[in-house]
Structure 1
Amino acid sequence: MPVASLLDWNNLDSTTIFRGQTLIVNKPVYYTVKKDDSLTQIAKNYGTTVQTIKDLNKLTSNTIYVGQRLTLPNAARETGNSTTYTVKRGDTLSKIAKEHGTTVKAIKDANGLTSDTIHVGQTLKLSGSASTAQTYTVKPGDTLYSIAVKHGTTVQAIKKANGLTSNSIRVGQTLKLSGSASTAQTYTVKPGDTLYSIAVKHGTTVQAIKKANGLTSNSIRVGQTLKLSGKPSAVQPSANIVEALIAEGKKYIGVPYVWGGTSPAGFDCSGFLHYVFLQNGISIPRTVETIWNAGKPVASLLIGDLVFFETYKKGPSHAGIYLGNGQFLHASTSAGVTISNMDNPYWSPRYLGAKQLH
């Protein structure tokens, strides 16, 4: 077998390998990411694990984007709602469940197990429906908001799944991330509610709520039941456009902020976006408000989305390009073109929502 083939199939830059590394030794399977895909879902469908996919594709997070080509192990073939796993030395039900985005109970139910005892060589069915209950262990710096953004769900969905009455969490805490977060949830309007306050509370946008409920105005009434769709309502830009926009934007990190600026001599936030898109042959409106009005709302952030904030005036007044992992690229009044974290104490309470222009 040619070394070149091994390098190509495993995305290796050199012939250096290490003990325990997973290598593809036959021609691999390739998969192109589609709308609403997640690594957990792809791993489940192809009978592999999230970690294996991340290792083969040198991914450092679970973030993927529409149009991205992923390398899958040669043994991976699309399955139905049920995949199988052969127990290896050192495995436990808990470990297997975590690797496959399912639960111990789901595995036990699927295999008729009455205890947690398993043995090497045993074949276990991993039910496709098991991924509806994933878990996440809180890390330093995490907030419910940042966790919700990373996992394509909402703060409210996480709180409900875990019986939380406040936004307080602690490092090491295990949170259930309900797989149903991407489906339509409902909310009953309470006294003092507005579409805006409901949208902010649930990590969505006013426009997304109006569209999901067929509303033509912002009027709502106490007791009214609203659908809160967790699915993105627009198609993500193609992978090469997203990559090109982000690469272009990052060229100007450090360029100073200039009110009304639209060139590398100095940008304001909308001037920066207008210029970056224009360099890729895309003409977008010039002001934050008109960009907001032209975009299609999304309820689940994807890389390349435009994120909007309410800063010095009511309504959208600042915007940037979402980079994944809670970060966005923008022209800041204090730092010029820079990368900031959406969970920052300044940006988090001012977040309005995300939109796509493609």
Structure 2
Amino acid sequence: MKKQLLTVCATATIIFAGFQTTASAHEKKYVVKSGDTLTKISAANNISVANLTAYNKLSNTVIKVGQELTLLPAHIHYTVKSGDALSKIAVAYNTTTAKIKEWNSLTSDTIKVGQSLMIVTSNGSQSTASTSTTASTTATYKVVSGDSLWSISLKFNITVDQLKTWNKMTTNTIFVGQVLNVKAPASGGTTAAPTQNKSSQASALIAEAQKYIGVPYVWGGSTPAGFDCSGFINYSYSKVGLSISRTVATMWSSGTVVAKPEVGDIVFYETTSGPSHAGIYMGNNKFIHAGSSTGVTITDMSNSYWKSRYLGAKSFF
């Protein structure tokens, strides 16, 4: 299908038309055409459906002809000044040299005065780097929907590594309601009890879900007599004291988007238009689900059928 990408420049707007044209590294937008789906657009532009959804704050996979989608996360542009270095800019924006190079497709640390660099932010604010006073006396922060360690680190003018150290975290996974230390503990720090709680809940969830391997698929089924995919997830979650929506569509429109699933997260697939199948991620690239032709079973996500239909993952812990 013929695609159009919109490149927005500082002084003019230029429209390039062509087959899978690559847009500017700084401003990358796509105008939805007839027959498009998020899956097709994400595949053509080498990004995940989950990221495309997050970048555009979409609550579902419904898109309309003529709708403009951004293919980049929220960001600002920084103009290199005399005396600048990537390391200096990275410190000013609480990021790393490697990230700046990745965002701008740089192969070396060499930059030039006047060069424009894209800096990914949590909210796309056009402000310049400054010393943040946000909650300067706040010692903790409660995670809300849409948060990531990266966005929280920007909010409090700290680094992701500091957040992980202060909260004794070994992964980047967080969940809504989790309380994080955003300042160095006075002595010894506190344990990341919510993270540990997620781990134990996830283990219990997988153990519960595996009890139903072999249960047949039944459309609308939500008991061990027969499950459909969302009924199986809903039932398994409820048995370990967790709450989740009943349908795939409502699951997809809630939860927290995660770049890579962790044990207990929900993985989504597009077997018909939009999110239409889901399962529970078990780790090691496998998920357990109620398949229409298999009943409750464990499947490898690298399976060609499922890999081509993968939409993304969300956490509900």
Q: Into which bin does the TM-score normalised by the smaller protein fall?
A: 0.3 to 0.5
Which of the pair is proportionally richer in helix? 1
TM-score by length of 2: 0.46
